[in-house]
Structures are given as C-alpha cells and as structure tokens.
A and B are shown apart, each in its own frame.
Chain A
Amino acid sequence: MCGIAGLIHRGKSSKVGHELQGMLQALKHRGEDSTGYALYGDTDGKNFIMRFKVGENVGEGSTSVAEDVSVYDERKKIVDSYLSEMGAKIIKEDRILPYSLRYEIEYNKKDLLEFSQKIESIPGVEILSMGKSLEVIKDLGNAKMVCDRYNLDKLIGTHAIGHARMATESGVDIKSAHPFWGYPFSDVSVVHNGQLTNYWNNRRALENKGMRFMSECDSELIAVYLAEKMRDGASLEEGMKESLTGLDGVFTYFVATKDSLGMAKDTMAAKPLVLYESDELVAMGSEEIAIRSILPQEIDTYDPFDGEVKVWQI
C-alpha cells in the first residue's frame, strides 16, 4: 500500500525532521517495512553532503544477506581513496551505523555523473543522496525507529518528503526503500505510492541512454525518468507533466529539489493524496491524519484531481 508525505515551509525554516517523522508515523499502518526521509536542511551551500551505504541492514525482516562488518570497513576505505583520487576533500565524516555514512565533501566539479559512477563501482556501495542541501536517510522499520536511529528529530530545514513502505514489488532492503535520489542531479529526490506497469520498457530505454538503476523497485523509475528529462533540458515541472503519459500505471508521487516541492497524480487518480496549502506552509500526505499530526486544528484540505501536477517554491 505505502504512504507518502511531504511539506514545504515558505519563507522560513522549521524542524522538518521532527515534522516529517510525525507525518510518516501517522501513516505507519500503510507499511513499515522501511521508512525513508529526504530532508532539505539549512546549510551554507558550500560543500556537498553525501549520504551513502556500504552494506545493507540485515535485521529482522530484511531480504539482504548478512556480511561481516570488516567488509563494510574495506568498502569505506576504497570510497575514501576514490574521493581522494577525484580531488574531493572530506570535511566531516559521520559513521552513523556500521553500514551507513554521512560525509561533508568539498568538491568543485559540477558533473556528478563521473563522481557517482566511480564511487558506485565499488560493489555494495550506493550513494543514497548527493547535494548541498538534500540528505536521504532510509532504513528498515517505521518512521520513529528510523528517526531515532539516525537522530533526525533536530534537523532544521525548509522542506522534506518521506515514504512509509509496504514492500510489494521488490525486497525489504535499503536499496529498494524510498526516497530515491534523482541521480546524478544534485538535490533531487522522489517518493512514490503506486505501481508502474511499463517499468521494464522504460528501464531498458533509459539504460540504453546511459541512466543508472540501483534497484528493481518500480518507483526508482520516476527519479530516473525525471533526471533524464532534466538532463535533456526540461524543467522539473515539464518533466513531471510528461511523466503523466510516459509512465503507465497508478501513481501519486512527490519530487523535491533544493528550493521546490512538487506532486503529480496519474490520470485515473487511483492513488490517494490529501493536500493542505497556505501562504506559509504546504503539507500533503496519503491520508489527512498525516497532515493532522502537524496541524491538529481544523483546516481546509482537498484531494488534487486526476492528472494534476503542482510545484511550490520555498
């Protein structure tokens, strides 16, 4: 089933980690195989923040194979050496969990494709996000468990999107969890609720154009699809509008960039979405109770119509 939630503050920052945790926890009945956050934090914008994993969570319910921590250590060493080779300087390093790391990196080249390909050529290593504001955090368990594990409660930022997953199309693991980074574009992330029925056709076509897939989760297609459109010069909103006909199936998805948040709903409106919009805040989720977790007072909400695309700026 899966649940998605997102919010954007206009003209101010807030504790978006805490707020999104509340929204996703309210949706935990829609799936708690894994939960993911894409948080757009307040930064000085100088350095890249790279969230990556060197292994999988092999806890209860995981479909991944257990590996020794020494394997993670070895992969981390190779990542560090590759960063050095590419002229990227590690400013700050956090190893949050044995398999999950956060680096602040000084890196001056704009093209992240070569950078990402080099890092991800290491078996078992995946960049979860790369950006100057975006941080993608995803792991097994419900929203509160992931929030506590990664200490997201205090993160201050302008906007965020997140996903509570019931695994149906692929395994219970971090690589199949949402959000997906819009590789190789800095600060682009996607969450999706639904099923895409032309996944393999689109995937083959995009791979032939040099785009990269890390999982077999159909939702990843949306991130790659939009990334390819933007690579070819389309704006985010244009890419989203094209996706209404380019992607087949039932879907509601959110996409976020450094300074914007968008939503798209398929032409059959088969997947739910409730939206609240004011001058200061836009909040949306699969169910109204997600919005009520941050706005308990009576508010006016509505369901966007079929084939609707909306984009908001911070």
Chain B
Amino acid sequence: MANLKNVTKKTKAQAMGMHTEVLTGRTQQKFFNPDEAENFYYFGTYDVDFNKRTDLDVKDMTAADANKEIDNLMSQGYGTIVIKNPQGKHSIGVGILNKLNLIFEGSLGYFGIGSCDGPIVRINGRVGWSCAENLMAGKVVIEKNAGSCFGAAIRGGDLICKGSVGARTGIDMKGGTIIIGGDAGAFTGFMMQRGRIIILGNVGINLGDSMYDGTIFVGGEIGSYGSDAVDAELTKSDQDWLKRKLKVAEIGDNFDVSKMKKIVAGKKLWNYDNLEPTEKKGAI
C-alpha cells in the first residue's frame, strides 16, 4: 500500500492507484485543491453579470433547445435569466455549473434543475418528479407543490418547496438541506446518507426508512417510522439552526421550532462519520 502519510501533491486515491485512467475529450478529471480555495471552478463555466438580465420564452422550444439557449445566454454574460412559458416541460434548467439567477415564470415537469452546481433558481409554479436531482450547490425555491423524489441524491445546496411534496423526498441524499413548507409523502428520507430535511407539515409512512445518517425535522404528524429511523433530542443548537434556515428559506414565519421532532439513524455504520461534504471543505 502507498505511504499515505507522505502524500504531498497527489491525492490519496491516486497514490493508492485508484485513478490510473487517462481521461480525454469533454470528460475532465479535476481534484479539489485547498490552495485554490474559492477559485476552484469547472471547465466550461462562464463569468456572468447578475445585473445583465434577459427573458427566454420556451413555449415552442424543446427541452434540449431551451437548455442550449440558457447555456448560450450565460456565455454572453447574462447572469439573470427569466424563463417564460415552461408549461410543465421536462428536464429544463439542467446541468448548470455556474452562478446564475434563473427564474421560471411557470411550472416544470420532471427532472427540472437536475445535476446543477451553483445557480440560484426560483420557480413560480410547481415542479414534477425528481426536481433538483443531484444538486451540488446553490439554492432552488419552488413557490407551489413538488412531485415525488424531490431532491433525490443531492449533495449540497438548499432546496426549498413552499407547498407540499410527494413521496421519497430526499431519497439517497448525501448532503445539503431540503425544506418543505407543507406536507411530505411516504418514504421521505429513504436511504438518506447525509444532509438535513425539514418538514413543517405532516409526513407519510416509513419516514427515514433505511437511512444511514443525516437528520430529519418534522413539525407535524408522522405516518410511521421506517426501519432504522429513531427519535433524537432536539437541542438548543438544532433550534437555532432551524430558525436560521427557515428565515433564509422565507417560510415558516413564527413557526415554533421547539416543538419539532428530530429523527436520526438508529444504527451506526462502520467507518462512517457525520461530516457533510461542505463541512469537510470548511474544515480543510
């Protein structure tokens, strides 16, 4: 085995021989370098000006064309883009690895805002299944309801739904925060691995089923607990954090967080710590 104590420039994974392939083409292999701090950026991102604003009517566009046009507008430096007439189309606003103010004047279908890293998105409507799947960073606010698999597998960022959401919210999430103003369906937090979910309303059956880690806060009634989900003590620091998050999310004014229930994983996996990726980054 490699001498990991003496690793300097290479990452531990490289030193252990786990990264041997040479990537070419559009696939880029980039490792986080703490010396670069906030200058770390993705290949293919753009410098945008938030004060440079434009509208994009997608009524007669396919999802692919709409996404290409968003990319094109960012390449021209537009930092605020207002999408008109999304009309429930699927897969719009995906793959944005940029800082961007993206506003949707209407509802999205399935897989909206998927695989994004960095944008601030406001949807003045509803979203379908799997909104913001794999979100890495940024903030997504939905003014109305959301479908199932809301925030599936997110790793970071804030995902806020002011209405109610369907089943399996936060399934497989690995970080970040999901905040629900209304109710949530069955299997919320199913197999969640890290991160936090806040639900101000009621939640359905099998809450936190098979969760490895992470925390779920519920303001209303719980249909039933899933396997491995157990109650935990709501601490003063939890309450302070909840107040801060709800304020940032602009929901739950005057909501009494002291009465919320806190649910965590009842089992401890081998070699599994409690730090979220963003917290690790901060610790470095």
Residues of A within 8 A of B (CB): 267-270, 272, 274, 287-289, 291-292, 296, 298-303, 305-307
Q: Can you list 11 A-B contacts (CB < 8 A)?
A: A269-B187, A269-B204, A288-B88, A289-B89, A296-B87, A301-B107, A302-B164, A303-B147, A303-B148, A305-B166, A306-B185
CA distance A300 to B90 in the complex (A): 17
Judge if B96 is at the interface, Cβ distance under 8 Å: no
Judge if B128 is at the interface, Cβ distance under 8 Å: yes
CA distance A288 to B144 in the complex (A): 14
Pick the residue among B145, B168, B187 that contacts A301 (CB under 8 A).
B145
CA distance A305 to B129 in the complex (A): 13
Q: Which B residue sits closest to A29, measured CB to CB?
A: B90
Q: Assuming the A-B contacts A288-B107, A289-B89, A298-B107, are A305 and B125 also in contact, with contact meaning beta carbons closer than 8 angstroms in the complex?
A: no
12 additional A-B residue pairs with CB within 8 Å, beyond A269-B168, A288-B126, A301-B145? A269-B187, A287-B128, A288-B107, A289-B90, A289-B109, A298-B125, A300-B126, A300-B145, A303-B148, A305-B167, A305-B186, A306-B167
Q: Assuming the A-B contacts A298-B107, A302-B163, are A272 and B183 also in contact, with contact meaning beta carbons closer than 8 angstroms in the complex?
A: no
A268 and B186 form a contact (CB under 8 A): yes
Q: Which residues of A contact B126 (CB under 8 A)?
A: 288, 300-302
Q: Which residues of B contact A306 (CB under 8 A)?
A: 167, 185-186, 204-205
Pick the residue among A267, A274, A288, A302 that contacts B186 (CB under 8 A).
A267
B107 and A269 form a contact (CB under 8 A): no
A289 and B88 form a contact (CB under 8 A): yes
CA distance A137 to B185 in the complex (A): 35
Q: Which residues of B contact A298 (CB under 8 A)?
A: 106-107, 125
Judge if B110 is at the interface, Cβ distance under 8 Å: yes
Question: Restricting to B136-178, which residues have a CB under 8 Å from any CB of A?
Answer: 144-148, 163-168
CA distance A268 to B148 in the complex (A): 11
Pick the residue among B87, B165, B187 that contacts A289 (CB under 8 A).
B87
Q: Which B residue sits closest to A26, measured CB to CB?
A: B88
Q: Assuming the A-B contacts A274-B128, A298-B125, are A287 and B88 also in contact, with contact meaning beta carbons closer than 8 angstroms in the complex?
A: yes
CA distance A292 to B106 in the complex (A): 11
Q: Assuming the A-B contacts A301-B145, A306-B205, are A287 and B110 also in contact, with contact meaning beta carbons closer than 8 angstroms in the complex?
A: yes
A303 and B166 form a contact (CB under 8 A): yes
The 6 closest A-B pairs by CB, nearest first: A288-B88, A269-B167, A306-B186, A303-B166, A302-B145, A289-B88
Nearest-neighbour CB distance to chain A for B225, whole angstroms, equals: 15
B144 and A268 form a contact (CB under 8 A): no
Q: Which A residue sits closest to B129, measured CB to CB?
A: A272
Q: Which residues of A contact B145 (CB under 8 A)?
A: 300-303
B167 and A288 form a contact (CB under 8 A): no
Q: Assuming the A-B contacts A303-B148, A303-B185, are A291 and B167 also in contact, with contact meaning beta carbons closer than 8 angstroms in the complex?
A: no
Q: Which B residue sits closest to A305, measured CB to CB?
A: B185
Nearest-neighbour CB distance to chain A for B203, whole angstroms, equals: 10
CA distance A225 to B110 in the complex (A): 32
B167 and A268 form a contact (CB under 8 A): yes
CA distance A303 to B145 in the complex (A): 8
Pick the residue among A269, A292, A296 that contacts B166 (CB under 8 A).
A269
CA distance A299 to B107 in the complex (A): 8
CA distance A305 to B205 in the complex (A): 10
Q: Which A residue sits closest to B89, measured CB to CB?
A: A289
Q: Which residues of A contact B183 (CB under 8 A)?
A: 305
Nearest-neighbour CB distance to chain B for A305, whole angstroms, equals: 5
Q: Which residues of B contact A268 (CB under 8 A)?
A: 167, 186-187
B88 and A291 form a contact (CB under 8 A): yes
Nearest-neighbour CB distance to chain B for A130, whole angstroms, equals: 36
Q: Which A residue sits closest to B223, measured CB to CB?
A: A306
Q: Which A residue sits closest to B105, measured CB to CB?
A: A298
A269 and B186 form a contact (CB under 8 A): yes
Nearest-neighbour CB distance to chain B for A31, whole angstroms, equals: 16
Q: Which A residue sits closest to B88, measured CB to CB?
A: A288
Q: Which residues of B contact A300 (CB under 8 A)?
A: 126, 144-145
Q: Which residues of B contact A303 (CB under 8 A)?
A: 145-148, 165-166, 185
CA distance A213 to B88 in the complex (A): 38
CA distance A16 to B204 in the complex (A): 35
Q: Which residues of A contact B87 (CB under 8 A)?
A: 289, 292, 296
B164 and A267 form a contact (CB under 8 A): no
A269 and B185 form a contact (CB under 8 A): yes
Q: Which residues of B contact A299 (CB under 8 A)?
A: 107
Q: Indicate with 1 or 0, residue by residue over B76-116, a CB within 8 angstroms of chain A CB atoms.
A: 00000000000111100000000000000011011000000
Q: Which residues of A contact B185 (CB under 8 A)?
A: 269, 303, 305-306
CA distance A298 to B165 in the complex (A): 19
Q: Which residues of B contact A301 (CB under 8 A)?
A: 107, 126, 145
Q: Which residues of B contact A274 (CB under 8 A)?
A: 128, 147
A288 and B128 form a contact (CB under 8 A): yes
CA distance A288 to B126 in the complex (A): 10
Q: Which residues of A contact B168 (CB under 8 A)?
A: 269
CA distance A66 to B85 in the complex (A): 47
CA distance A270 to B204 in the complex (A): 14
Nearest-neighbour CB distance to chain B for A122, whole angstroms, equals: 45
Nearest-neighbour CB distance to chain B for A3, whole angstroms, equals: 12
Q: Which residues of A contact B109 (CB under 8 A)?
A: 287-289
Nearest-neighbour CB distance to chain A for B8, whole angstroms, equals: 50
Q: Which A residue sits closest to B206, measured CB to CB?
A: A268
CA distance A180 to B165 in the complex (A): 31
